Structure 1
């Protein structure tokens, strides 16, 4: 079972949610494998229910699943780690403080684990207080380079920069992208990304020299009536990737 997403070979993969197993399979085909399919632990009442369901998704997308929290909910951190230990997925979303435990439970170094950091309001700094307890306290602003080093110490491989609200914090995002490029760290811009701003957000990261990027595009491409991700939108996103990724 492949533990490394396709973006390790091709710089970019997208992270989108699947509303059903068939939807996941269609997403994977539309993006020609350059995708990790988001599955949220918050949607399951127990570890066993999540594991059993997510195994079915794994089987149709060559393990290209992304075990997620659910809107960055820090209270899902422990469940994400427990479920991921069993599933050994290609991609995991974690709060900053949950990365070390998650990597230890996995027992391997190939799976991508992001650490959630938030915009701080100050260019060159990020908020790392995103855990179950720390998120209830005053924001902890640290230099981007320090946050990268801390995540590397814990076995993390990328930043999940969330919530971006599209391009609202673009100067902070540019500084994060530059630091990721200079420190050989991956970047996952998240929050408010849509078909209109996707190319600009992706291009900022690539132009800065980030080696691997996983933009998360969620609600903006989900059909509100069916709860399924629109396959035509996935195809459009992938067409942008093919056009600009060299």
Structure 2
């Protein structure tokens, strides 16, 4: 690995998408290093193509690389595991059932590996059948504390709560945050987060006692014409992160 990103020792780390090497550098600088840059495996036809380009991103931003699925696509789970093994990034996005394989192939405990769980109609429970096969079967809903225990069993680092649709599942999100705090687990709120609801989403997790939060802010800060994530929006988000407490 290259140098360790600043976020590892802090409470909040931003996760955004990078559209190019230059865009990644701009976003990294705008957040003063308190960030990981998401590159989606789904954008590459082969493992080798993904590995070659992602290595360039790693060098550009000190390995502040987050390997993504692509809208939580379970069919990308295997590819993410394989390329993560080769790249050894700082952060990996996975479906719930892909966590164990990813951790085994990484063969180290430092990389943050999240497990995707989704909201249900019942506060306090989450959907864990988010894998390539399990997502096609009867829904598996379990208490959030059980999901966290299972993620820990598999070597996972965090809960990726997706899709949140902003604050649509506010009470469910609070329950997840409380459980993450009680079980000393990282929380990654994802989906529909923007400049307007960002502070409240962070504050809910912080007030619940979550020790490390990795909010994913995607489409709301992407320039629709260029496809770039807007560095000026990153600066706004970073100021909110400092306000809530880095």
TM-score, normalized by the shorter chain, greater than 0.5: yes
The TM-score, its normalising length taken from structure 1, stands at 0.98
User: Counterpart in 2 of 1:90?
Assistant: 90
Deviation at 1:3, TM superposition (A): 7.7
Q: Which runs of 4+ in 1 moved over 3 A?
A: 2-5
Contact kept, 8 Å, 2:206 with 2:244, in 1: the verdict is no
Partner of 2:171: 171
Contact 1:7–1:212, Cα closer than 8 Å, also in 2: no
TM-score by length of 2: 0.98
How many residue pairs were aligned?
A: 246
The 8 Å contact of residues 14 and 35 in structure 1, kept in 2 or not, is answered as yes
Matched residue, 2:44: 44
Query: Aligned pair 1:140/2:140, yes or no?
Result: yes
**Distance of 1:217 and 1:139 partners within structure 2:** 27
Q: Residue 161 in 1 paired to residue 161 in 2?
A: yes
Q: CA deviation at 1:77?
A: 0.1
1:4, distance to aligned residue in structure 2 (A): 5.7
Distance 2:47 2:97 in 1: 20
Structure 2 equivalent of residue 110 of structure 1: 110
Shift of 1:6: 2.8
8 Å Cα contact 1:20/1:228 also seen in 2? yes
RMSD: 1.0
Task: Flag the 1:245–1:2 CA change in 2: closer, same or farther, 3 A.
Answer: farther
Unmatched runs of 5 consecutive residues or more in structure 1: none
Q: Distance in 2 between matches of 1:197 and 1:105?
A: 36
Q: Deviations over 1:110-169 (max 9, x none)?
A: 000000000011111000000001111122110110000000000000000000000000
Residues 217-243 of structure 1: per-residue CA shift (max 9 Å, x gap): 000000000000001000000010111
SS in 1 for 2:150: helix
Alpha-carbon contact 1:222-1:228 (below 8 Å) kept: yes
More displaced 10-residue stretch of structure 1: 224-233 or 131-140: 131-140
Which secondary structure state, in structure 2, belongs to the residue aligned with residue 132 of structure 1?
Answer: coil
Residues 32-64 of structure 1 deviation map (CA, whole Å, 9 limit, x = unaligned): 110000000000000000000000000011000
Give, in whole Å, the separation in 2 of the partners of 1:50 and 1:14: 22
TM-superposition CA deviations, 1:183-242 (whole Å, max 9, x none): 000000000000000000011001000000000000000000000000100000001011
Q: Deviations over 1:11-37 (max 9, x none)?
A: 001100011000000110110110000
Is the Cα contact below 8 Å between 1:67 and 1:93 reproduced in 2? yes
Unpaired stretches in structure 2, ≥5 consecutive residues: none
Is 1:56 the equivalent of 2:56? yes
CA deviation vs aligned residue, 1:45-103 (integer Å, no higher than 9, x gap)? 00000000000000011000100000000000000000000000000000000000000
